[in-house]
Structure 1
Amino acid sequence: MLRVAYLAAGFMSLGLGGLGVLLPLLPTVPFIILAAFCFARSSTALERKLLDNPSFGPAIRLWREKGAISRRGKRAALAAFAFSAVLGLLASPFPWSLIPLAAALIGGTWIWRRPEGEA
């Protein structure tokens, strides 16, 4: 039963990661890393597919080994956060416009403080 729950959570994380490609405030790689975590506990074949993926495999391994994010990944995440914050400030009325700004500041600070590695 627990294995099925991890499998479902892995597919859900993979779907959210896919949405993150299209939506600027929704991160992609953290959801892919979460999917790999879930698949490691439910389906080693699916975990292996993620680890062998040329786009996401290196980021997953870097995270697992060092808890690190590549410099390129940090830049992409911070640029997406900045874009979302500016979009929120322009498109939402006050005080709702502060929500994307707060999310960008909190998430961006956490990402900035993670160790850097080569993916």
Structure 2
Amino acid sequence: MQRIILLIIGWLAMGLATIGVILPLLPTTPFLLLAAWCFARSSPRFHDWLLYRSVFGRYLRHWQQHRALPPGTKGRMIVFTLLTFAVSLWLVKIAWVRLLLLCLLAGLIVFMVRLPVVDDEQQKR
């Protein structure tokens, strides 16, 4: 029964992570990590698929090895986040929603800036 629950949670997390790639307010990484954790404990087949055959596999393998982002990823994340929030701020006309979006943006940027990045020398080890 526990295996089935973990599989369901894992696939729900994968779905949310996939949606999070498109929607700026839904984070992708925590859902990917949750899916990897669930699949590691419930289905080696799905865990291998996630790590070696999915679009997200490279980033998950890199995180497992180094506990850091690959070089260049942090900059792309920040730019994409700024662009998507800029569109949201442009479309939204309600002042308190704009303020909320700006607060969320500030929190996300602070979080992203603090994420570690592995350098080329560490990556070779």
TM-score class, shorter: 0.7 to 0.9
Percent of aligned pairs with the same amino acid: 32
Paired position in structure 2 for 1:73: 73
Paired position in structure 2 for 1:8: 8
TM-score for both structures, normalised by structure 2: 0.78
**Structure (1 or 2) with the larger CA radius of gyration:** 2
Q: Is 1:116 the counterpart of 2:117 in the alignment?
A: yes
Q: Tell me, in whole angstroms, the C-alpha distance in 2 between the residues paired with 1:25 and 1:76.
A: 16
8 Å contact kept, 1:59–1:70: yes
Paired position in structure 2 for 1:94: 95
Q: Tell me, in whole angstroms, the C-alpha distance in 1 between the residues paired with 2:104 and 2:17.
A: 18
State the shift of 1:79 in Å: 1.9
Runs of 4+ residues over 6 Å off in structure 1:
none
The one-letter amino acid paired with 2:97 is W
State the shift of 1:29 in Å: 3.8
| Structure 2 spans left out of the alignment, 5+ residues | none
CA RMSD of aligned residues (A): 2.2
8 Å contact kept, 1:62–1:68: yes
Tell which deviates more after alignment, 105-114 or 26-35. 26-35
State the shift of 1:45 in Å: 0.6
Q: Is 1:43 the counterpart of 2:43 in the alignment?
A: yes
1:27-85, CA deviations, whole angstroms, 9 ceiling, x for partnerless residues? 33442232111111111110001111263222112222332122333223212321232
Q: Is 1:84 the counterpart of 2:76 in the alignment?
A: no
TM-score for both structures, normalised by structure 1: 0.82
Tell which deviates more after alignment, 79-88 or 35-44. 79-88
Q: Tell me, in whole angstroms, the C-alpha distance in 2 between the residues paired with 1:50 and 1:36.
A: 7
Q: Tell me, in whole angstroms, the C-alpha distance in 1 between the residues paired with 2:34 and 2:100.
A: 24
| Structure 1 spans left out of the alignment, 5+ residues | none
Q: Tell me, in whole angstroms, the C-alpha distance in 2 between the residues paired with 1:31 and 1:72.
A: 22
